[in-house]
Amino acid sequence: MPFDFRARRAHHAGLRPQRLQARRHHPDFDKMATQGWQSLDAEGKLPSAGWRKERQWALDMGLPGAESLTDRDIPTFARGELPHFAGINTFMKAPYVENVRDVAKYDAAVIGIPFDSGTTYRPGTRFGPQGIRRISALYTPYNYELGVDLREQMTLCDAGDVFTIPANLEKSFDQISRGVAHVFSSGALPIMLGGDHSIGFPCVRGIAQCTDKKIGIIHFDRHIDIQEKDLDERMHTTPWYWATNLPNVSPTNLVQLGIGGWQVPREGVEVARKRNTNVLTIADIERIGLEKTAEIALELAWKDADAVYISFDVDSIDCGFVPGTGWPEPGGFLPREALKILGLVAAEGLCGLEVVEVSPPYDTSDITALIGVRVVVEALGSMVAHGKLGSHKSIINKPVAY
């Protein structure tokens, strides 16, 4: 017997209003209680003065657009956020600060650290800052769920790159510490785009030298990175050995999240055990949950400390999501898990943030670099949402001046 499409269509048409009515009155669905609706409502309360100012600036700097354009906010030369595919690749189209002394005018400053001489296997992270900046043009400064617009609620600049010295770790470390210390002393929050993980030590050193207050560290990684040396040098496997040697950075305030797998050198495990650091594996985090993990991380990192620094190695995420990194390892975080924990711990305020081990030569469709971008904006958005951006200024009591 042939199938009667018209009869089936009529049958469903008759049922459709009844089903829709049932959905509208579903006992488990309260539209006003959903995050989706709350986010819609929150957007209407955000200011838009920053966006209007940027559009006027674009017209002033880039000439009014052709007469045939009906949108008179479009300039002739691309300036600012739009279009996302054009313009100079600063981080998220933030203003480029040609004179680095001007970073003091901003709440946060992005610093590129194009350095991979601390790499022990796959090089390429010297191109990390370029890769992160390039794909960051895809983003807007507004986050739907958080109800935050960074353009309206903070000021961000791009200070360019530290001049690192290829094949010379110690000279590069000195340059990095000097650059980070300058930005931190200015009052701007330093945000470092690496680079391999060896930069963790000079970045923390740059901040620690500007204060006598105590600093805790929350470290996202699959690798423990706390052995004394690797291949007879201070490589990307050693930053926390040297950072926790600093007088105001205690190893007991070092919290490492996601450590595990088949790439954790026993030399580093021995140091972590002797120094009584804090390690949570992926299995630990799965068992206790994301919120509890963040709670524990905050308690340990902040115990008797005055500020917390976050080091985010992209290889903490399962390598299926981050192919563009030096030491890919299966079994790490899902992106949403890592970002959730990051947002929770950043909500208490940070004195610095680094994103490391993005290696564009191994990346696919910029997805690893995109994770790097998301880490930065997630941390900034969380601090803005909780009123903690700028809280680091209270510990700056030994500022440097060059």
Report pLDDT digits (tens) over 105-158.
Answer: 999 999 999 999 999 999 999 999 999 999 999 999 999 999 999 999 999 999
Position 26 scores a pLDDT of: 73
Position 18 scores a pLDDT of: 52
Mean pLDDT of 59-86: 90
Residue 75 pairs in a beta bridge with 64
Average pLDDT over all residues of the chain: 92
Whole-angstrom distance, CA of residue 211 vs CA of residue 205:
10
Residue 64 C-beta-side C-alpha neighbours within 13 Å: 7
What confidence category does residue 230 fall into, taking pLDDT thresholds of 50, 70 and 90? confident
| The token pair that represents 377 in the structure block | 């904006």
What confidence category does residue 249 fall into, taking pLDDT thresholds of 50, 70 and 90? very high
Position 84 scores a pLDDT of: 87
Mean pLDDT of 21-27: 58
What confidence category does residue 315 fall into, taking pLDDT thresholds of 50, 70 and 90? very high
Mean pLDDT of 253-271: 94
Position 33 scores a pLDDT of: 84
Helix (H, G, I), strand (E, B) or coil at 363: coil
Position 12 scores a pLDDT of: 47
Mean pLDDT of 385-390: 97
Q: How remote is the C-alpha of 66 from its chain's centroid?
A: 38
What global pTM score does this model have? Answer: 0.89
- For residue 9, pLDDT beyond 60: no
- Given a contact cutoff of 8 angstroms between Cβ atoms, the answer to whether 279 and 322 are in contact is no
Residue for token pair 């829709």 = 20
Position 24 scores a pLDDT of: 54
Whole-angstrom distance, CA of residue 148 vs CA of residue 140:
11
**Residue whose C-alpha is closest to residue 236's, from 244, 245, 227:** 227
Whole-angstrom distance, CA of residue 380 vs CA of residue 187:
15
Provide the percentage of residues in the chain whose pLDDT is more than 70: 94
Task: Give the H/E segment covering residue 197.
Answer: none
Residue 191 pairs in a beta bridge with 110, 353
Per the document, the length of the chain is: 402
- Given a contact cutoff of 8 angstroms between Cβ atoms, the answer to whether 323 and 368 are in contact is yes
